[in-house]
Amino acid sequence: MKILVTGGLGFIGSHTAVELQNQGFDVVIIDDLSNSSIEVLEGISRITGKTPAFEKLDLREKSAVQDFFKRHADISGVIHFAASKAVGESVENPLLYYENNIGSLVYLLQELEKKNEANFIFSSSCTVYGQAGKMPITEDAPIQEAVSPYGNTKQIGEEIIKDVVKVSNINAVLLRYFNPIGAHPSAEIGELPIGVPQNLVPFITQTGIGLREELSVFGDDYPTPDGTCIRDYIHVVDLAKAHVVALQRLLQKKNTEKAEVFNVGTGKGSSVLEVIKAFEKVSGQKLPYKIVGRRSGDITVAYANTNKANAVLNWKAQSTLEEALTSAWKWEQKIRKVLAK
Ligand code: WQD
């Protein structure tokens, strides 16, 4: 079976392509290479022994999307990762985010609604909950007003899909990610942030390797046990596997609704200081950091209630925070050697 993975050379997309191939699927990757590199394709094939088909394509170009689907009429499912995802950048340049994240989604869905059957997995995010009132967060927690255009594109994307499945043959699963971290244990693929990392774990590993002076901890005056924000850090391979089981659920027509929603996290919250301590343990070295002011837009706490994914998808995150950080550290050490050449 042929599966389209948009944004498949990105962080989560590439790990999902590996898990799809491991399950015997043929993978076609579309990526515009705006936030990824073609070397990732070789990384995938070094892991699985199979090179996914690849097409460089900008999903904002409607005619290019139409042409792609004319040439690939035998696609059984689509896992849609391709999107701009920098929260801060989305505040500065909202139209870039609405054009890319919403425009691409609309053009993809317009092609899928022409098919007799279409299975669609959407990359959503726990950001749709904002600061949820109750922990752990369940899928029926209220959707709160987005604090960034990026978060808004995820909310709007979910609404578009829920409207479209009602009047088409599309079946969808919306996966609300918590905080993906780590890398494939082979260290052949991993996170490749361009420029200064916005996210905590790549900044930690780059500090660990000496690329960054020290980590700035954005505030220790939150109403949490140690004053720093709490998040649900999930190993990217666990997250990738959740996409495969969600897709298989649709392919086997086991879905009970036309658009099903699942939180994908570990169910465990970790504070920034706890992540630092865990990294120091797995790396065997002290991490230089300083406490600075809060980062605007940050919420205090978010971690998932994963009962629904555990029970309905029969999926559960396997890796601990330390295992995920170990894989992130191994990747950082490997990639610095490669980039230093
Ligand atoms: C985690 C914690 C920071 C960097 C983001 C997106 C979200 C999703 C996951 C796409 C926070 C603190 C961070 C640093 C720090 N992405 N931090 N110093 O903000 O929870 O979620 O990535 O879907 O949409 O918003 O992740 O890794 O940026 O921050 O102290 O240098 O680490 O304040 O408490 P976040 P993050």
Handedness of CA 335, 26, 157, 102 (dihedral sign): positive
Handedness of CA 330, 269, 156, 218 (dihedral sign): negative
Gap from CA of 134 to ligand 1 centroid (Å): 20
What pLDDT, on the 0 to 100 scale, is given for residue 88? 87
Atom of ligand 1 nearest to the CA of 125: 23
What pLDDT, on the 0 to 100 scale, is given for residue 92? 93
Give the N- to C-terminal CA distance of the chain in Å, as an integer: 39
Closest residue by CA, ligand 1 atom 31: 200
SS3 content of the chain, % helix, strand, coil (to 5): 40, 20, 40
Select which of 97, 107, 129, 150 is catalytic. Answer: 150
User: Domain 200-231+267-307+318-340 carries which CATH code?
Assistant: 3.90.25.10
What pLDDT, on the 0 to 100 scale, is given for residue 147? 86
Q: Token digits for 324?
A: 């995920």
pLDDT along the chain (341 residues), means of 10: 98 98 98 94 98 98 98 97 92 96 98 96 96 96 92 97 98 98 98 92 97 97 98 98 98 98 98 98 98 94 98 98 98 86 69
Fold that domain 2-182+233-264 belongs to in CATH = Rossmann fold (3.40.50)
Pocket of ligand 1 (CB under 6 A): 85, 87, 125, 127, 177, 179, 198-200, 203, 215-218, 229, 231, 272, 295, 298
Catalytic residue status for 150: yes
Domain ranges for the chain: 2-182+233-264, 200-231+267-307+318-340
Q: How far apart are CA 307 and CA 257, in angstroms?
A: 18
Gap from CA of 200 to ligand 1 centroid (Å): 6
Q: How far apart are CA 215 and CA 291, in angstroms?
A: 9
Can you tell me whether residue 78 is helix, strand or coil? strand
What pLDDT, on the 0 to 100 scale, is given for residue 155? 97
pTM of structure: 0.97
